[in-house]
Structure 1
Amino acid sequence: MVNYEYSVRSVETVFRIIETLDELGAAGISELAAEADVSNSTVHKHVNTLRSMGYVKKDGTTYSLTLHFLGIGIRARAQYDIVRTAKSIVDDLSTRTELITSLVVLEDGYGVFTYRSPPSVSSPGSLPAIGDRTYLQTTAAGKAMLSKLEWDAVRSIIDDVGLPDPSDRTGSSDRDPKQELPLQDYSTSRRGRTIFHLRRELQSIQEQGYALERDEHGTTHPALAAPITIGGTPVAALSVSAYSRQRTQLLGQTPSLATQVTDAAADVEAKISRLET
C-alpha cells in the first residue's frame, strides 16, 4: 500500500496550485486561493516561485501554466518503450475501424492515456485527454488490464488508490487518493456489491479476452479494450471508443471489432517480444 505518512505539506500545496491552474486554464490569486483552499499569501508565494522557474506565466493579474510542462510530459512518455512500439499499430487500428483508438498504460495503480489516434479528440465531458489518469475499474482499458491480474493484486490496487464513489463514472483521479472513500468507509452492503460485481466482471473479461464498456466515463461513448501483457503481466491496453453517432456501430459489431482489437494487442506484444530478443 502507498504510504502517505511522510508527505510534505508545502509540496502538496504547490501541486494543488498547479493542478488547479491546469483545471482553470488561467486565474488570479484570489480565485486560485479559493479553488485550492489555501491563503492568498500562500498562493502568491508559490506562483511567483513557479514563475521564476519557468513553470507559470503572468498576463496582467492572471496566471497560467507554461509549455515547460509539455517537455517534461513528452520526455516522461518517451521512457515507455511500449508507446513507441504501439504508435503505428494504434494508428492502423484507428484507420481500419474508423474509431477513436487509445493506448492506455498501467502506472502506479492507474490507467494513463498516453497516445490516441486521431490525436485531436478531447472535449469537456468526453474522453480523457492524453496524460489523464483514470481509475482502472472505471474504463474498458482499465478492466482489461485488471482481468490479467490475480484477485489479490486487484484488491491491492483498490486499497492503494481508493475506491471511487460508484456514482462518479468520470474516472478522474486528480484528487488526493487520501480524500477518496476507502473501502472500509463504504457501507458493508455497497462495498460488498461493488467488489462482488467487479470480480465477476473481471472473470468474464478474462474468459472472452476483451472488456466492453457501454457508457464509458458516464458519457455516450462506448468502448472496447484488450490488454497488452509482457511475460503475462499487464502493462497497457488498446481501447477503441465510438463517437456518439457511431455508438450503434460499435455495439452492433462487437464480435468482429473485438477480434481486430485483440489481434492488434497481440501485434504489440509480438513487436515488444522481438525487440527484447
Structure 2
Amino acid sequence: MAQKVTGGVQSVERAFELLELITNAGGEVTLSELSTFTDLPLPTIHRLLRTLVSLGYARQLPNRRYSLGPSLIRLGEVANKQLGSLARPQLKMLVDALGETANMAILDSDMVVYIAQVPSPHSMRMFTEVGRRAHLHDTGVGKAILAQLDDDTVRNIVTHAGMPTPTPNSIGNVNDLMTDLGQIRERGYSIDEEEQELGVRCFSMAVPGSPTPMAISVSGPVSRVDDKFSAQAVPLLRQAAKTIAEDLTLKV
C-alpha cells in the first residue's frame, strides 16, 4: 500500500487505498476481504466503494465481488503515454550512444507492457510495438521488474500467467527463474539471452523507486550486442534509469 501523505485529504487517501488493495488482490475482492486488509470501518469501506462504483473506478460483479472499473483504463492509457514521453529523451540518449533499440515497459497485472520505444537506426533491429504485452519471465524488462518484487509475488505472477518457452533458451520453471532473479539482484541488471527471440540479446534495468514497477532496456542482434556492448550499455542504462527516476520525482 502507498504511504499516506501528511496533510492529504483523508477520504481521497482512503479511496485510493481501496483501489490499491483491490489491485494487490489480483483485481477482484469481496467486501469482507477488504475489511481484513485495512483498518477502515466496514461502513466506511462500503460508502467509499459505492462512490467509486458510481464514478466507474470500481465495479460490483454479479457474485457481489468488487473489481477495478473501466474508468481506470482511460487514466492508465493517458498516464502510460505521459510516462513514455518523460522517458523518451533518455531512450534516445541510449540509442544515440549504443546504436540499438531502447524500450521502456511497466508491470501490467501479471504481464509487462511496452509504453515507449526509440528504434535503432540499423535495418536489422528488434521490432517491439508500443502497447505490446509480454510475459515477464522471458523478457529483459520483465525479469528486471520481477527482480524488484518479493519471491511470493513473483511466484504468484508466473503461476497465474504461465511460463511459456518461445525459444530453447527460455526459462520454463520457477526454480530456475528464482536463481536468475538472484543473479539480477546481485549485478543490478537483467539479460535476455535469446529467451524471447532467437538471435536477439537484451540488457535491461529497473527504474529505482518508481511509483509502478518499470524498466528500460536496449536490445539488438547478438552479433552486435556482445561483451563489448555490455561494458558500454550497463553504465548508460544505470544513468538513464536514475535520470528517469529523478524526473518522476520532480513530476509528483
**TM-score bracket relative to the smaller structure:** 0.5 to 0.7
Alpha-carbon separation, structure 2, partners of 1:243 and 1:74: 36
1:65-104 superposed matches below 5 A: 77-80=77-80, 81-104=82-105
- 8 A contact 2:100–2:121 mirrored in 1: no
State the partner residue of 2:244: 268
Residue 32 of structure 1: aligned partner: none
Q: 1:93–1:74: structure 2 CA closer, same or farther, 3 Å change rule? A: farther
Correspondence 1:202 to 2:181: yes
In the other structure, the counterpart of 2:196 is 217
Q: Note closer, same or farther for the CA distance 1:226–1:234 as it changes in structure 2 (3 Å cut).
A: farther
Say whether the 8 Å CA contact 1:227–1:234 is kept in structure 2.
Answer: no
Shift of 1:132: 1.2
- List alignment gaps of at least 5 residues for structure 2: 1-24, 29-72
Q: Identify the residue that residue 51 of structure 1 maps to in structure 2.
A: none
Counterparts of 2:138 and 2:145, CA distance in 1: 12
SS in 2 for 1:212: strand
* Distance in 2 between residues matched to 1:230 and 1:153, nearest whole Å: 18
- Cα pair 2:103 2:116 within 8 Å, conserved: yes
2:237 maps to 1:236: no
CA shift at 1:208, angstroms? 0.7
User: Greater helix share, 1 or 2?
Assistant: 1
Question: Which string of whole-angstrom CA distances, capped at 9 and with x for unpartnered residues, describes residues 150-201 of structure 1?
Answer: 001101111222222x3x249xxxxxxxxxxxxxxxxxxx97xx21111011
Q: Distance in 1 between matches of 2:167 and 2:99?
A: 25
User: What is the identity, as a one-letter code, of the residue corresponding to 1:228?
Assistant: V
Report the aligned-residue RMSD.
3.2
| Counterpart position of 1:162 | 162
Q: Secondary structure at the match of 2:213?
A: strand
Superposed CA offset, 1:252-273 (max 9, x none): 3323311111111111001101
Structure 2 matches for 1:53-64, cutoff 5 A?
Answer: none
Relative to the length of structure 2, the TM-score reads: 0.62
Identity across matched positions, percent? 19
Cα distance, 1:263–1:137 mapped onto 2, change above 3 Å:
same
Counterpart CA distance in 2 for 1:122 and 1:144 is 27
The letter of the residue matching 1:100 is T
CA contact (8 A) 2:85 2:116 kept: no
SS of the aligned residue for 1:222 comes to: strand
CA contact (8 A) 1:144 1:225 kept: yes
SS at structure 2 position matched to 1:247: coil
Gaps of 5+ in 1: 5-72, 171-189
Question: Per-residue displacement from partner, 1:51-86 (whole Å, max 9, x unpaired)?
Answer: xxxxxxxxxxxxxxxxxxxxxx99864322422221
Task: Name the amino acid aligned to 1:148.
Answer: Q
CA shift for structure 1 position 245: 4.5
1:137 counterpart SS class: coil
**Given residue 101 of structure 2, which amino acid in structure 1 is its aligned partner?**
I
Q: Counterpart of 1:160 in 2: which secondary structure?
A: helix
Match of 1:106 in 2: 107
Question: What whole-Å deviation, never above 9, does each CA across 1:92-136 have from its counterpart, x for those lacking one?
Answer: 21111111101112111211112111289999x954322211100
The equivalent of 1:256 in structure 2 is: 232
Distance verdict in 2 for CA 1:154–1:121, change over 3 Å: farther
SS in 1 for 2:153: helix
**How many correspondences in the alignment?**
181
Greater than 4 Å deviation, 4+ residue runs: 1-4, 73-76, 119-123
CA distance in 2, matches of 1:148, 1:160: 18
Q: How far off is 1:223 after superposition?
A: 0.5
**1:122–1:129 Cα contact (<8 Å) kept:** no
